[in-house]
Amino acid sequence: MSDDAHYQATEDAHTGPIKNPKQLLLAVFFSFIAPILIIVGLVSYVTSANRPSGEAKGAGMALYGVSKDARDREVFERLKKVGSIEIRDADRPLATGETVFKAQCVACHGSPGIPGAPHFSDAAAWGPRIGQGYATLLDHALHGKGAMPPQGGGDFDDVEIGRAVVYMANAGGAKFPVPDRPTAAGAPGAAATEAAAAPASAPAAKP
């Protein structure tokens, strides 16, 4: 009996841990395939880290259906200078309210627009806002209100933004006059300046 036990212990010591085909397959997997998968994962991680962020982000945006033009615009916005000087012709014709609306406002106030924003021609939504008056609406448009960011200081003058406000408000039932650039005679202090300059330009007649 003791000889059999000794023989069995000696046999187990020489056969090793692998005793069936399943254990053999597991040993092969963890010895060869698992290291290969780990190496492939590490190489993929390193190459993705070295890939330009725009390319990686572009792949992700393509996955979500964002067009190449949208990606290019975003890259341009991120790379453009923080500050810039723009020279505009003060005498250029003012853009119409419809033009400004289509260029700058339609994304939120058009159809379908965004929730919470008064949509074009929606009298029920514009009614309470029209009651606040044009000056308040213009202030909200120029400086922002709630989720709406400031619209002033962009591609259009404040007067042109005001024209877009009037265009939308009038479509919703208001009767605001279309704003225009202040004339030299209507500018503050112009009348006083003309009055002060009049005696100097025409000397008084002697009695």
Residues 146-178 have pLDDT tens digits of: 888 898 888 888 999 999 999 999 999 999 999
* Tens of pLDDT, residues 89-107: 667 888 999 999 999 999 9
**Residue 200 confidence (pLDDT) above 50:** no
Q: What is the C-alpha separation between 22 and 18, in angstroms, rounded?
A: 9
The CATH architecture to which 97-171 belongs is: Orthogonal Bundle (1.10)
Task: Give long-range contacts, CB 8 A cutoff, 24+ apart: 72-75.
Answer: none
Average pLDDT of the residues of the chain: 74
Task: Look at residue 124 in the predicted model and tell me its pLDDT.
Answer: 93
Q: Are 115 and 108 in contact (CB under 8 A)?
A: no
What is the percent of the chain where pLDDT is above 70?
A: 65
Q: What is the C-alpha separation between 207 and 204, in angstroms, rounded?
A: 9
**Residue 185 confidence (pLDDT) above 80:** no
Residue 12 banded pLDDT, cuts 50, 70, 90? low
Task: Look at residue 187 in the predicted model and tell me its pLDDT.
Answer: 45
Residue 2 banded pLDDT, cuts 50, 70, 90? low
In the chain, domain spans: 9-50, 97-171
